[in-house]
Amino acid sequence: MKLINLPKKICLYILVIGILLFTGYPFVYMIMTSFKSMKGFFLDPFSLFSGSLTLENYSTVFDMGIGSYFTNSLIITVLSVLLVVFISALASYPLSRIKFKLNRPLFLLFIAGMMVPMHATLIPIFLLTQNMGLYDSLTALLGPYIAFSLPISIFILTQFMGELPKELEEAAQLDGANHWNIFWKILFPNLAPAISTIVIYNFLYLWTEFIFALTLITDTGSMTLPLGLQDFYGEFTVNVPGLMAALVLASLPVIAVFIIAQERVVKGLTGGSVKG
């Protein structure tokens, strides 16, 4: 029995090693290169361990201002995610708990937004941002970031709220509580699982968002991390280890969050895409 399975086992391990090399090697290359000196890299770009490892690239990247890109990304991402949670929870309350004529059409209108390619809005948003005097500031991103996170968030929250038991607010209704109190004091505290899903989903989307940042920001001081990386690319063409250090720093926070909260992250990501 064991012997018959052996060839199968070997095939399985060849497959696993193949996939592991394909997915893992680029990371190994990125990390190892980020610790090489320029000289060490050009002498031997392929070795995993070069004789002397150095942290010099990381200090170079900090000197070039990756900290500011980082802060900008953090500010805009956190702010957008907080607002998205609040605004989408507000909208999902009547959509899921109150019967009114426009219930269904409104819900469909919102979730249709999931399918809109950003490009279909790019030029008007670019002009609008200029007209509002927001161009080249971090605030310029707030509107599009919230707008493009809303559909999925409203979708998840409306579904989730719709499944909460009716009894939850009936007692409060008997006591004459108004809708705001029912929403804020009774329903909102019960939304934690759905909110963690939309926080993770939107955080990952916004942390890596590029095209709106590219069209709405040119000023180095307002650049987000993906935009900053592109900027480094322009300046670092030959300093491969330096660029790799920047890539490691940019990827680290998300990867750390994933390793700490693996199951939550996976749930957050699939919750956003698995439907019915």
Binding to another protein, residues 44-103 (CB under 8 A): 45-46, 87-88, 90-91, 93-95, 98, 100
- The backbone region for 39, taken as left when phi is positive above 0, alpha when psi lies in -120 to 50, beta otherwise, is alpha
Binding to another protein, residues 233-262 (CB under 8 A): 233, 240, 243-244, 247, 250-251, 254-255, 258-259, 262
CB of 255 to another protein, least distance (A): 6
**The only residue of 19, 53, 55, 82 in contact with another protein, by rule CB under 8 A:** 19
Residue 272 found at the interface with another protein (CB under 8 A): no
- The backbone region for 256, taken as left when phi is positive above 0, alpha when psi lies in -120 to 50, beta otherwise, is alpha
Residue 20 found at the interface with another protein (CB under 8 A): yes
C-alpha to C-alpha distance for 148 and 137, rounded to whole angstroms: 19
CB of 250 to another protein, least distance (A): 5
CB of 117 to another protein, least distance (A): 4
C-alpha to C-alpha distance for 226 and 88, rounded to whole angstroms: 26
Listed in sequence order, the residues at least 6 apart from 63 whose beta carbon sits closer than 8 Å to its beta carbon are none
Burial of 12 (C-beta count, 10 Å sphere; 0-12/13-18/19+): exposed
Residue 203 found at the interface with another protein (CB under 8 A): no
CB of 155 to another protein, least distance (A): 12
